[in-house]
Structure 1
């Protein structure tokens, strides 16, 4: 192959990476290569199949497999002889991870990390799995057995490998096709919402069963549907989720923040890693719940979680790091666990008795003879004096814990996850009356929009140590555009609206797919076998769902029909999918487009009365709401139903506009809240391709 570059040296090349996960493996005897054209060219030049290993820095089982296999010289020698070995940080290249995780699912295997996939030299998947033990165990072959078996099959069973490749590539290509259908109706939204409510755990909250994940996109959709459909159950399951999680072991009662999931069905035993994206979305849910039903628990958990973000996740550049590891000193959860003796040694006896009773501290422990602090059995609020004692105890234990070896921090900055955090902080600042949280959001936004901006108008996906780690993906532009709109509505700054429009337009230029919707990878991505297109939400909202939300919100904010058309194209590309119930963010965007309300505040924005009206709108719990400021009657978009309307008897006034008509003006926040609560019955949804009522 004369056009291929010379082969790289037979050594581990991860020392040149920026990703903390890749750097964790830089000392392995495996000849790891980072994903990219050079590694793929090496596979083609040598004819060796590719062993692709995908994980992330906070992943416990990734660490286990690394210690057991990748650090073992004999296993590494086998890998080096038989394969071109490529290591990927799933957080840095979620497009690569999503593609090969889909291939694993098509093989009938349950997904997870570490993801271990075997590819042809052209990066075509033909077999895979997740964690493999060093010796046969739990009905699984050893990793060395897998290596030998896959290499032999690739060498001697070419027909079977080719069949697998053809079937998988065909299925992956079909998954990326548009599946057009009619605009989602109220009946569809109702059917999806009811099915999701039925899938929840009526006692413990969250989805039924174990392990338990927060699934914020699902519960944000249900919250949205409470206002759309008037179903109390949709809000009740959100409140139950937040209360159970916030008193369970999945929450860090000393340092704040929620772990990624619990391994059981009762939120007691967490998988101890903490992710930025989970905490961002849960903070937004706490803010929405607080706006509807103020609760000291929500206020405390929000404040503690933001304090954790600022103390442990804020980088020196002002943006937020990605995650904290599950492990410290080589042991999962070691940093967070206690014994009764440790608690007794730190607290006065009279305080210790109360603390141990409330936080489930006992000699036998509640997990592997140690204690995970939780308030599951004592979730009710105690007297002010008792709560003050508990707070004093928590501070003492927190200070003692701070002397332990902390979990590792993955300090790379991801544009999409920071976008989720910025939007959440903006909403929480309004809901909880904490303007300093808005300052945190603006600081992170400034870094991502400045330092992580490419020359062609796109964003970078990852940044660390002064270097870009990966090119921007759809989710980066969608999440940051959503963050920009959150800041625009919160502050009124026109520059934030302009940023959101620019990123939405960049997505159109670089990610738009035939038939509507968007590919995850840009058009100039050269190392992606198949460009994925999906609107299914996972632990984070899908890029296509977020794009539909942004386009719907831009339509209400600007009045420009191009954004209505864009939202309909995005939604319509997936509306015929039989799995549309797995696309709650997209469905919520459809409702926002058709039924969203505009609150117009007419009057001088510097007038305290105008600011009070704005605050009432920003702190309202209905997510299908946009705020427009009209310092002059001609400041609104052309054709807006509130156009020409102004202050009321010289005082700033607010108008609530839905479906082409506006409420009478109101001049005080309480009256505005009442006007927003009187949501009229939904109008018929437009047919696909038709405009919502003007």
Structure 2
């Protein structure tokens, strides 16, 4: 699927041999681009030229803008080619490269983002940078040509200053790669942080802070965990308010399903129209948790529509136009026909023509008017009328949406980044595996299992994962996040299906993390394996970003493995991992919600075991009851007999009661009496929250 950044020029550069859609968008630029690798650095060393590093991704609107304005301009390209060795990186393909230089930019006192524009020595050491630069001076920023000439002059005439900058930035990067360790976290640490974060909530529109406003699912999950533990209503309200406002706002695609990456305003009306796999996976988790408590029709509808979008539009193909591979694609672009949001917006007259007599009802509930609500056109939303209608009313609106969706399908589609990323697929697989039994949707579980099988077979060589797959080609060695998210996905599937193979796969991937990623000196996992050597240093962090951190997820995986197996080695490793970053949490608590939640799971899990014949209906009823209450600290497993649990498990030796299936709820080393009635099990799970 072509992107709006493609050029019709017959000229190609070295990016033509790449598989990344983002890199291929730039294959016809007159810039002499190199992909990240030794060839570019060797040329820079041999010619003593600095490197211009440009990092972006396929769905990035401002990346497209800079490409059109500058990288497709022959004059700018000639300047770049004469003064620099130019390297283009897909930040989704190489998140380790992006993270390193985003940190460098922050040390320079600049806000990060994409496109990232960094200037490096031939050894890959950063000495200056920024993000988007316009073709002519504007927005208070110099033009790209001015920046190019200035950086080339600095390299040529002020090498001592460049060397000082390099040394200062390197020292800062080394500090960031060596987080401050500390002691064990207190049991109330998550609640203390959650209460403080609650002060940042927009009390009217939900979400954290003002515009631009991001979903921040890791923070919302921490609020939900804290509500479950404390019963403090404002924490639950923060999640419900945010989910409702997002789900009825313009950030949600009311025709096709799925949430955009963020809203440019505080009311969730105007999205930055790109749609990312990772956001929707995490929001599906939240919708599932919230629906299991409230039974909200809105949450159920959004969960189902989002999964329908995943099935309809986000299954990557083995080859262009070929069958679906089973893995999920990365993202949909914000742009089509060179214009942001064009695919998604409507005019009043278009709605009238397509819906006829049904138009008035639809327009009234979706904010459609002749003047529009964004640049003369309409972003569909229900923010002003969030309440759902009765069954007949919602049926009429659904029929109207289906007509508009069919008409929209005839438009020029946004670009599709169809590479499969192991870590983002792990997020989606885990969300589907958890939500399937909650919503009684076995097809969702099959979708998750198929994606898991794809990554575990097509993106793996032995016990090593690749990070990226596209059209039959694997690229880039697996990173911490790939192993952590796929191990978490394996445990989610194990919990839902009871299949031991998923548990063993999680154990194997954790063994690879321990062997190839563990910091034996200070604890915690590095982002890259010990046999990766193309970065100036190995990053190590537990900060959550748009996705949960690899170390935060790994800590949760270790905690869950300890509870499932009883093996103390997993607990010891989790404790050491958390301690490696606990000093950072005390200094900057807001960046670590995933690690805080992992510590809560480690210290105070609620374990539910169902013991009984696998084919017995009474066993199935108990299993369904446990799986339909998706608490973030609940660890579930099933066995067929009293000897099915590990020796160190708190419920070891407990089995069916008088030949009848029974459930046991354990907290710490104490377990309940056997529970044979599903309603009694549900009550026990609910009572275990505080």
Moved more, 619-628 or 336-345: 619-628
Which residue of structure 2 aligns with residue 503 of structure 1?
A: 509
Matches within 5 A, 1:190-205: 190-205=191-206
Matches within 5 A, 1:616-627: 616-627=625-636
Distance in 1 of aligned mates of 2:198 and 2:675: 36
Distance in 1 of aligned mates of 2:127 and 2:340: 33
Distance in 2 of aligned mates of 1:467 and 1:44: 30
- 1:319 to 2:320 alignment: no
The alignment partner of 2:451 has SS state of helix
- 1:557 to 2:558 alignment: no
Which of 485, 490, 493 is the matching residue for 2:491? 485
Distance in 2 of aligned mates of 1:155 and 1:635: 70
Which of 330, 335, 342 is the matching residue for 2:343? 335
- 1:8-41 per-residue CA deviation (whole Å, 9 max, x = no partner) reads xx97200010100000000000000000122111
Q: Which runs of 4+ in 1 moved over 4 A?
A: none
Identify unmatched segments of 5+ residues in structure 1: 1-9, 682-694
Which residue of structure 2 aligns with residue 423 of structure 1?
A: 430
Q: How much does 1:476 deviate?
A: 0.1
Which of 635, 645, 649 is the matching residue for 1:640? 649
Q: How much does 1:621 deviate?
A: 3.4
Moved more, 223-232 or 307-316: 223-232
Which of 338, 342, 352 is the matching residue for 1:344? 352
Moved more, 181-190 or 150-159: 181-190
Which residue of structure 1 aligns with residue 264 of structure 2?
A: 263
- 1:548 to 2:549 alignment: no
Q: Is the 8 A contact 1:292 1:621 kept in 2?
A: no
The two structures have a TM-score, normalised by structure 2, of 0.96
Distance in 2 of aligned mates of 1:257 and 1:546: 24
The alignment partner of 2:325 has SS state of coil
Which residue of structure 2 aligns with residue 42 of structure 1?
A: 43
Q: How much does 1:229 deviate?
A: 2.8
Which residue of structure 1 aligns with residue 461 of structure 2?
A: 454
Superposition CA RMSD, Å: 1.1
Distance in 2 of aligned mates of 1:429 and 1:622: 15
- 1:588 to 2:594 alignment: no
Q: How much does 1:438 deviate?
A: 0.2
Distance in 1 of aligned mates of 2:658 and 2:299: 39
Which of 563, 566, 578 is the matching residue for 1:571? 578
Distance in 1 of aligned mates of 2:12 and 2:122: 19
Which residue of structure 1 aligns with residue 78 of structure 2?
A: 77
The alignment partner of 2:648 has SS state of coil
Distance in 2 of aligned mates of 1:465 and 1:97: 24
Which residue of structure 1 aligns with residue 56 of structure 2?
A: 55
Which residue of structure 2 aligns with residue 373 of structure 1?
A: 380
Q: Is the 8 A contact 1:289 1:621 kept in 2?
A: no
Which residue of structure 2 aligns with residue 310 of structure 1?
A: 311
Distance in 2 of aligned mates of 1:510 and 1:308: 37
Distance in 1 of aligned mates of 2:649 and 2:567: 10
Q: Is the 8 A contact 2:433 2:445 kept in 1?
A: yes
The alignment partner of 1:224 has SS state of helix
Q: Is the 8 A contact 1:256 1:307 kept in 2?
A: yes
The alignment partner of 2:610 has SS state of strand
Q: How much does 1:186 deviate?
A: 2.5
Which residue of structure 2 aligns with residue 413 of structure 1?
A: 420
Q: Pick closer, same or farther for the CA change 1:154–1:295 going to 2, 3 Å.
A: same
The alignment partner of 1:67 has SS state of helix
Which residue of structure 1 aligns with residue 228 of structure 2?
A: 227
Moved more, 575-584 or 423-432: 575-584
The alignment partner of 1:459 has SS state of strand
Distance in 2 of aligned mates of 1:232 and 1:613: 29
Q: Pick closer, same or farther for the CA change 1:220–1:107 going to 2, 3 Å.
A: same
Distance in 2 of aligned mates of 1:523 and 1:450: 23
Q: How much does 1:293 deviate?
A: 1.2
- 1:264-300 per-residue CA deviation (whole Å, 9 max, x = no partner) reads 0000000000000000110111111111111111111
Q: How much does 1:177 deviate?
A: 0.8
Distance in 1 of aligned mates of 2:288 and 2:518: 33
Q: How much does 1:555 deviate?
A: 0.2
Distance in 2 of aligned mates of 1:617 and 1:233: 27
The alignment partner of 1:322 has SS state of strand
Q: Is the 8 A contact 2:606 2:688 kept in 1?
A: no
Q: Is the 8 A contact 2:51 2:84 kept in 1?
A: yes
Q: Is the 8 A contact 2:116 2:132 kept in 1?
A: yes
Distance in 2 of aligned mates of 1:11 and 1:305: 38
Which residue of structure 1 aligns with residue 142 of structure 2?
A: 141
Q: Is the 8 A contact 2:181 2:581 kept in 1?
A: yes
Q: How much does 1:431 deviate?
A: 1.3
The alignment partner of 1:523 has SS state of coil
Which residue of structure 2 aligns with residue 6 of structure 1?
A: none
Matches within 5 A, 1:11-410: 12-315=13-316, 316-349=324-357, 351-410=358-417
The alignment partner of 1:623 has SS state of coil
The alignment partner of 2:581 has SS state of coil
The alignment partner of 2:44 has SS state of helix
The alignment partner of 2:87 has SS state of strand
Distance in 2 of aligned mates of 1:128 and 1:680: 48
- 1:650 to 2:669 alignment: no
- 1:612 to 2:625 alignment: no
Distance in 1 of aligned mates of 2:579 and 2:589: 11
Q: Is the 8 A contact 2:347 2:377 kept in 1?
A: yes
- 1:46-85 per-residue CA deviation (whole Å, 9 max, x = no partner) reads 1100000000000000000000000000000000000000
Q: Is the 8 A contact 1:552 1:593 kept in 2?
A: yes
Q: Is the 8 A contact 1:511 1:519 kept in 2?
A: yes
Q: How much does 1:594 deviate?
A: 0.6
